[in-house]
Structure 1
Amino acid sequence: MKAIIPVAGAGAKLRPHTYTQPKALIPIAGKTILSFIVDQLHEGGITEFIFIIGYLGEKIQDYVKFAFPHITYHFVQQTERWGTGHAIELTREIVGDDEVFVALGDTICEYDVKEMINSPYSMLGVKKVDDPRNFGVAEMGLDGFIEHVVEKPTIPKSNLALVGLYKIKETAFMYGCLKHLFEENIKTQGEYSLTDALDFMIKRGAKFKAFKVKNWFDCGKKDTLLESNATLLKKSGGNVTDSHTFKGTIIIPPVSIAPNCSIKDSIIGPHVAIGANTKIEQSIVRESIIGSYTNLFEVVLDNSLIGSDASVKGLSRSLNIGDNTEIEFG
C-alpha cells in the first residue's frame, strides 16, 4: 500500500504564516502537522509515500528528505489547483495497481491505522459533527456499507463528516472515475472533487465501509490550531528536554520546548509549544505556539501564534504574527 498526502494548498486561512511556510509544516505540540501524519502511517506499516506539492513545494521536499530518511518518497507537482480529484489523478503512474491510502495534509486524526489497512474493504474515515454542511458527508445504508457521499451538501442527510482519510482498494476503478469527472467536466464548487469520484465508484458497485476516528484535530485556522495544540499537549504531557535550564522561570505544564531555547525570568504555560533556538525574557506566554529562532522580550501573550525568526518587544495580549517579523510596542 502507498500513502498519498496532498500538501499543495496555499493555506489562506493561516496567513500570514503560510506566506513563508507551507501549512503542513506549521508546528503544533512540538511537531509539524506533516510529521504527525507520516509518523502515524509509518508506525502502522506504510513505508512508501507520494507527496502532492505545489505552493512552497521546495520546502516540503527539503523537509521530507531531512525528516523522513527511513521512508520511500515521491513528489508530484500540482501546478494548477483544481481540487482534490485533480491532485489524486496526478499520482496515477506512480501508484500503478497498488492499494492507496489518502490522508489530506492538514488532517490529524486518532484512529487504528493497522485495523484500517487490514480491512478487506475500501474505507472512509468519518466523524459525527454538529454542522456537516462544510464537509463531505457519508450516508450509511442498512447493510452497513456507505451508499452515498456528497461534498458540502446544502441540506445534509447525515451528520457523518468525511475527515480526509480514504483507503482505496480498487485504484484502477478510482482513476477511471476521476477520468470520468474530467471528461464530463463534473465539478463541485468549481473544483474536481475526490468525493464525487468516490460516489461514482459506489454507484457503480464499489463497496466502502466507514471507520470512525476517535479524535479529529482541525489545523486549518488560527483558533482551531491553538485548540488542537492544547489538546495534543494534554494527551502527550508535553516535552521539555533535560538539558534546559531556565533561570527565574516557572513552567506550567503541559508545554513543549524544543532544544537550544533560552528562557529567563518568565512564566510559560500551560499549553505552549516553542520552537528551537528561541529566546524569551521577562514574559508571560500561555495557550500559544511560538516558532523557532524567535525573540520575545517583556511581552504577555495569550492565544497567540508567532512565526519563526520573529521579534516581539513590549506588552501585548493576543497576536498572529508570521515569520521574519519585528514588532516593538512603545
Structure 2
Amino acid sequence: MKIIVPMAGRGSRLRPHTLTVPKPLVPVGGKPIVHRLVEDIAGVCSDPIEEIAFVIGDFGAEAEKELIAVAESLGAKGSIHYQTEPLGTAHAVLCAQELLDGPVVVAFADTLFKADFKIDPKDDGILWVKQIDDPSAFGVIKMNERDEIIDFVEKPQTFVSDLAMIGIYYFKEGADLRKELNYLIDNDVIKGGEYQLPDALRRLTEKGKIFKPGKVTEWLDCGNKIVTVNANQRVLEFDREKHIELVDASAKINNSVVIPPCFIGKDVVLNDSVVGPHVSIGAGSKVNGSVIKNTIIQANTTLENVTLKDSMIGNHANVRKTPHNLSVGDYTTMDI
C-alpha cells in the first residue's frame, strides 16, 4: 500500500500559525496533523504501508526532513513531490503520479478521523464519508440500492445525500486513477480554474469501477483556529481511551495541577499553575502562575500569570497577563 498526501496549500485560515509552519505540521495532541493522519490511515489498512508521498509547496528543507521522518516512523519510505501552481485536487495527486500503481490511498492533509472499518483489498475503491446534518457546504456521494457510489455532487442545494466526502480515498489500482487524471489535464477538463478529483472519480464509475463508502465515526477538521483547538480536545480524549502516556517523564511539574487529558511534552516546566483539561504543551515550554484550559501551546514558549481558554499559542512565544481566547503566532511577545 502507498499513500499520497497532497498538502501544498498555504493554510491561510489558520494564520498566524501557518506563517512559519505548514498547516499539516501544526501539532494536535503533541503530534503534527499529518503524522496523525497517516497513522489513522495505517489503522484501517490490511497491508503494510510501503511509501508515503507528500505533495508540497516551498516548505523548506527542515519541513521536508520532518515529513520524511513521519513516513519512516511508520516503517515506510518517504518522498517529496512539488505542486508549484494551485491547479486543483486532481493536479495535486498527479504531481506524485509515479506512486499511482497498485493499491494507493489519497489523503488530503487537513482532516483527521476515527473509524472502525478495514479496507477490503477486493474493493475497486473506498471513499471515506461522514454523515452530516447540513450537506450543502460539502461534496457528497450518491449511492444506488446496493450501497455502491454512482455519483459525486459538490455542494448540493437540493438534498442528494447526507454522506459528505472527507477527502480520503482508496484505489485498488492506482494506474486507473492516473489514466483518468491525465485525461482531465490533456483535455482541459477544468472547473473554476482547477482540475478536480471528483471528475476523475466519476469517469472511473462510468467505466464500471465500483466504489463503496467507508463511514467514519468522527471527522475532525483542522482548517482554522477554532476547529483545530476542538480537534486537539478530541484527539486527547482518543489517546486517553487508548491508555497512551501523555505526560513526558522529563517534564517538571512544580506545585501545579494537571487535569487530564493533557499532553505535556519533553522538558516542559510547570510552576504554580493549573493546566487542563484538553491542553497540549510542546517541548521546552514553560508555564508560570497560570490557569490554562482547552489550549494548544507549541514548543519553547513561555507563559506567565495568564488565564487562557480555547486558545492557540505558537512556537518561541512569550505571553504575560493576557486576556482569554487567543490565537498567537510564532516568535510573538505580549505583555499586557
Q: Offset of 1:112 from its aligned partner?
A: 4.4
**Cα distance in 2 between the residues matched to 1:57 and 1:182:** 28
User: Which stretches in structure 2 are left out of the alignment for 5+ residues?
Assistant: none
The question of whether the paired residues in 2 share the 8 Å contact of 1:22 and 1:59 is answered with no
**Cα distance in 2 between the residues matched to 1:13 and 1:46:** 31
Are residue 305 (structure 1) and residue 312 (structure 2) matched? yes
Choose 139-148 or 48-57, whichever is displaced more: 48-57
Could you say if the C-alpha distance between residues 232 and 136 of structure 1 is closer, same or farther in structure 2, counting changes exceeding 3 Å? same
> What is the TM-score with the length of structure 2 in the denominator?
0.92
**Cα distance in 2 between the residues matched to 1:73 and 1:112:** 26
The answer for the alignment partner of 2:258 in structure 1 is 251
The answer for the alignment partner of 2:77 in structure 1 is 72
Q: How does 1:64-213 map to 2 (within 5 A)?
A: 64-69=67-72, 70-92=75-97, 94-112=98-116, 115-213=118-216
The answer for the alignment partner of 1:8 in structure 2 is 8
**Cα distance in 2 between the residues matched to 1:22 and 1:150:** 30
SS of alignment partner, residue 116 of structure 1: coil
**Cα distance in 2 between the residues matched to 1:294 and 1:2:** 37
**Cα distance in 2 between the residues matched to 1:38 and 1:227:** 20
Q: Offset of 1:164 from its aligned partner?
A: 1.0
Choose 116-125 or 269-278, whichever is displaced more: 116-125
**Cα distance in 1 between the residues matched to 2:108 and 2:303:** 33
Q: Offset of 1:119 from its aligned partner?
A: 4.0
- Superposed CA deviations along residues 21-66 of structure 1, whole A, max 9, x for unmatched, are 0110111012110111223344542131111111425343110233
The answer for the alignment partner of 1:278 in structure 2 is 285
Choose 77-86 or 29-38, whichever is displaced more: 29-38
- Superposed CA deviations along residues 205-243 of structure 1, whole A, max 9, x for unmatched, are 221111101211111111111111111112222611234
Q: 2:272 aligns with which of 265, 275, 291?
A: 265
**Cα distance in 2 between the residues matched to 1:87 and 1:76:** 9
Are residue 63 (structure 1) and residue 62 (structure 2) matched? no
**Cα distance in 2 between the residues matched to 1:308 and 1:62:** 18
Could you say if the C-alpha distance between residues 46 and 66 of structure 1 is closer, same or farther in structure 2, counting changes exceeding 3 Å? closer
**Cα distance in 1 between the residues matched to 2:190 and 2:163:** 22
**Cα distance in 2 between the residues matched to 1:149 and 1:96:** 21
**Cα distance in 1 between the residues matched to 2:144 and 2:61:** 44
The answer for the alignment partner of 1:40 in structure 2 is 40
RMSD: 1.8
- Superposed CA deviations along residues 95-148 of structure 1, whole A, max 9, x for unmatched, are 2532211111112112246x2153433111111111222222101111221010
Matched-pair identity in %: 36
Are residue 233 (structure 1) and residue 233 (structure 2) matched? no
Are residue 292 (structure 1) and residue 292 (structure 2) matched? no
Which letter does structure 1 place at the counterpart of 2:255? Answer: G
Are residue 52 (structure 1) and residue 50 (structure 2) matched? no
Which letter does structure 2 place at the counterpart of 1:167? Answer: Y
The question of whether the paired residues in 1 share the 8 Å contact of 2:125 and 2:210 is answered with yes
> What is the TM-score with the length of structure 1 in the denominator?
0.94
**Cα distance in 2 between the residues matched to 1:67 and 1:175:** 25
The question of whether the paired residues in 1 share the 8 Å contact of 2:139 and 2:154 is answered with yes
Q: Offset of 1:84 from its aligned partner?
A: 0.8
User: Which stretches in structure 1 are left out of the alignment for 5+ residues?
Assistant: none
